[in-house]
Amino acid sequence: MARFYFKIQDQEGVLLPDRAFEFESVADATEQAKTLLAEMALDGLPKEPVDSISVELQDEDFRPLLTLRLLMETLPHGQSTLPSHSP
pLDDT tens sequence across 24-79: 999 999 999 999 999 999 988 887 777 899 999 999 999 999 999 999 888 888 87
| Residue 27 lies in domain | 2-71
Please indicate, yes or no, if residue 83 is contained in any of the structural domains: no
pLDDT of 8 reads 96
Domain count, the chain: 1
CA 30 to chain centre: 12
What does the alpha-carbon distance between residue 26 and residue 29 come to, in Å, rounded to a whole number?
5
Please indicate, yes or no, if residue 77 is contained in any of the structural domains: no
List alpha helices for 25-80, DSSP H: 26-43
Predicted confidence band at 11 (pLDDT cuts at 50, 70, 90)?
confident
Q: Is 3 helix (H, G, I), strand (E, B) or coil?
A: strand
Please indicate, yes or no, if residue 62 is contained in any of the structural domains: yes
Report long-range pairs for 18-25 (Cβ below 8 Å, ≥24 apart).
20/60
Please indicate, yes or no, if residue 11 is contained in any of the structural domains: yes
Q: First and final CA of the chain: distance in angstroms?
A: 67
Q: Which residues, at least 6 apart from 47, have a Cβ–Cβ distance to it below 8 Å?
A: 11, 72
The model scores a pTM over 0.85: no
Please indicate, yes or no, if residue 79 is contained in any of the structural domains: no
- Nearest C-alpha neighbor of 23 from the set 15, 14, 32: 32
Please indicate, yes or no, if residue 80 is contained in any of the structural domains: no
